[in-house]
Each structure stands twice: as C-alpha cells, then as structure tokens.
Amino acid sequence: MRKIVNKPDLKLFVFYGLVLIPTFFLCYERNLSFFFVIVAMLLTSVIEIPICKFRTRKPEYSKLEAMCIGEFYGVPIAEEMQEDNERAYKTRVTLNMGGFIIPLFFSFYLLLSYPTLLLEVAMPILLMTIFSYMLSEVKGGVGIVIPSYVGIFAIPLGLVLAAPLGLPLESIARLLIFVPAIFGILLGMLIRLATLPEEQVGSAFFNIGGIGSFYSIYLISLLALLIGAVA
C-alpha cells in the first residue's frame, strides 16, 4: 500500500541524481542556494504530508488493468481497490515535501526578494495555472496526473515577458520561469482537486506534487537552474 514515505522511481531518481553532479560545477560559484533547493526537492520527494480525507468512487478496472496501470505509475492500485471491500475510497490528500512544500516556500522567498516585480510575475503565473489545469487529469486509482512537459511552457513565456524588463538571465530563470511554473502547476492541480465532481472516479490518494506530478515540477526546476547557471 502507498505510505507517507513512498518508494521512488529508482531509474529516474538515479538519472536526476547523476545530472546534478555536473550541474554542481556549473553552480558552485553562484546559484548554490538554488542548487541545494533542487537537491532537497529530489531527496524529499518520497515524503508525503497528509492534510485531509474524503470519499471518492473506485474505478471499475479489471485486475489486469489495475495491475498494468499500477505498474506504469508505480502505485498499488489493485491492492487499494480491494481494501475495505467498499465501492468508494477513503481518499487521503497529501502534500509532497519535495514537489510541493519546498518549491512553494522557495518561490515565496524569491517573490519577496523582488517585491517591485510582483505585477509582472502575476501574468505568467495566471497563464501557467490555466495551462496546467487544462492539461491535468484525474486518473482513476492514481490521482491527479500532469504531463512532465507542462512546466517547459514557462521558459519561452518568461523570456518573452522579460524582454522589456532588462533583467539578467539568472533573475529571469528564477523569477519568470521557476516561480510561475511552480505556482502554475500547483495551483492548477489544487483547482482540479477543488472542482472534482462527486461522480468522478477517484483514488485512494491524491499526492499533490507527488505521484503523477513530481517530475513535471522537478524537470522545470532543474531547467531553470541550468538556464540561470549558464548566464
């Protein structure tokens, strides 16, 4: 069963860990604080913080379908469907430490570091929220799923909006790429959860920033770090 400490996708975990090794040498003279945030996000991505519970309808998967979907997303759907022998999940909503708590707090820190640019940052956040909400979906038995490429939209968007501001690339990467991507993805997911219809097929867990969404958040965070490092 899924727990508060989840088993990571070992291959992707190792891949991103290896990517961080050469990234460190790009960041050791500057951007070290951003680098350590990215490292902390990866290391704590297995930790979930429960916040509330509600009931959602169980999907009508066959045993084979449940096993295949569970294998793809790395979650024990077949076991969760059989728990309690009821037709509804006792759904638990959790916030992922590495995919929600840490990037959200760092985004707030960055916003407070540039108080005069709050209005300029609001537009890309709004656009990223709409974009993320439209591309997110509730996958029966898995939770809210968002494609890993969603955050990449923040890169051209941030570069276009930064043109008249004359900001250095390092600031653009942090304030107009990382911050809008993080707020946009997380807000899009929270809106999806808040507007979930009662008849919607649900999941035993909704891991906000975790299973189904962590790598979309982590990919754009890593790309923003690299963009700022080569400035």
> Residue 221 is encoded by which pair of tokens?
């965070």
Task: Decide if 1 is inside a domain.
Answer: no
* Residues in Cβ contact with 31 at an 8 Å cutoff, skipping those fewer than 6 apart: 170, 225, 228, 229
Task: Decide if 50 is inside a domain.
Answer: yes
Domain of 120 in residue numbering reads as 10-229
Task: Decide if 2 is inside a domain.
Answer: no
The pLDDT of residue 85: 66
Task: Decide if 22 is inside a domain.
Answer: yes
Q: Give the largest Cα separation in the chain, rounded.
A: 60
Task: Decide if 127 is inside a domain.
Answer: yes
Instruction: Count the domains in the chain.
Output: 1
Local confidence pLDDT in tens for the 231 residues of the chain: 566 666 667 788 889 989 999 999 988 877 889 999 999 999 999 899 999 888 888 877 877 777 887 777 777 777 777 776 677 788 889 999 999 999 999 999 999 988 888 888 999 999 999 999 999 999 888 889 999 999 999 999 999 988 888 888 888 999 999 999 999 999 999 999 999 887 778 888 899 999 889 999 999 999 999 999 886
Task: Decide if 175 is inside a domain.
Answer: yes
The pLDDT of residue 223: 95
The answer to whether residues 206 and 186 touch, using CB atoms and an 8 Å cutoff, is no
The stretches of the chain forming alpha helices (DSSP H) are 10-27, 32-43, 63-73, 77-82, 102-113, 118-135, 154-162, 169-171, 179-194, 214-229
Residue 145 phi, psi (nearest 5): -115, 135
Task: Decide if 206 is inside a domain.
Answer: yes
Task: Decide if 5 is inside a domain.
Answer: no
The pLDDT of residue 55: 85
The pLDDT of residue 56: 83
